A and B are shown apart, each in its own frame.
Chain A
């Protein structure tokens, strides 16, 4: 079964706007939560990742917010640009499983 649920499936945002993608998980053993960006014809590329001991991590225009009690985490893309148009995947793993459990992905389109 899907261990990480991701929403929305698709998202359209105007240039300069904020893109928000949400993920939820059930397995409390997860201790690593990365976000990946994938362009057509390419493999996923690691964007940013967070551990459950912090509630927020920011790298440039990308921010992860993490709510341990709600078992949810989200990706915020500030000042979204057309070049951000891609598919975004959240994932989660444990420190012993060595396997990334991916969400189903969000197709983001940033319009000019």
Chain B
């Protein structure tokens, strides 16, 4: 079956702009999580959604937000982009809500 699909794969934005990233989970998976990966900080948890409800949020500023739709697809939004937001943003889905996460290949965001 199809894996976790993230679009777009690459994105270049200017400081101050906003960006929306999309994630389609594995069919049947209702839990979707987002992570930020940078060389300095590694993999850091952003937030997790289950059945359209945010169940947990990591330690990121309010500029980072997300949502999940009724078909389990998820989007994350970053407003007022900063240079430090340049990272690989990874989406992961799970049927068990917390265990056995499958990751997508990520969206590489570059802020200039």
Q: Give the total number of A-B pairs whose CB atoms are below 8 A apart.
A: 60
Given known A-B contacts A101-B45, A102-B43, A44 and B90 have beta carbons under 8 A apart: yes
Within 8 Å of chain A (Cβ to Cβ): is B100? yes
- Mask, B30-46, CB within 8 Å of A = 1, is 01010100000011110
The answer, among B43, B100, B103, for a CB contact under 8 Å with A49, is B100
Spell out A's residues near B (CB within 8 Å).
32, 34, 36, 41-46, 49, 89, 91, 93, 95-105
Q: List 22 A-B contacts (CB under 8 A).
A: A34-B100, A36-B103, A42-B105, A43-B4, A43-B106, A44-B103, A45-B103, A46-B100, A46-B101, A93-B99, A95-B98, A96-B98, A97-B56, A97-B98, A98-B98, A99-B48, A99-B58, A100-B33, A100-B45, A102-B35, A102-B43, A104-B42
B contact residues vs A (CB 8 Å cutoff): 4, 31, 33, 35, 42-45, 48, 50, 55-56, 58, 90, 92, 97-106
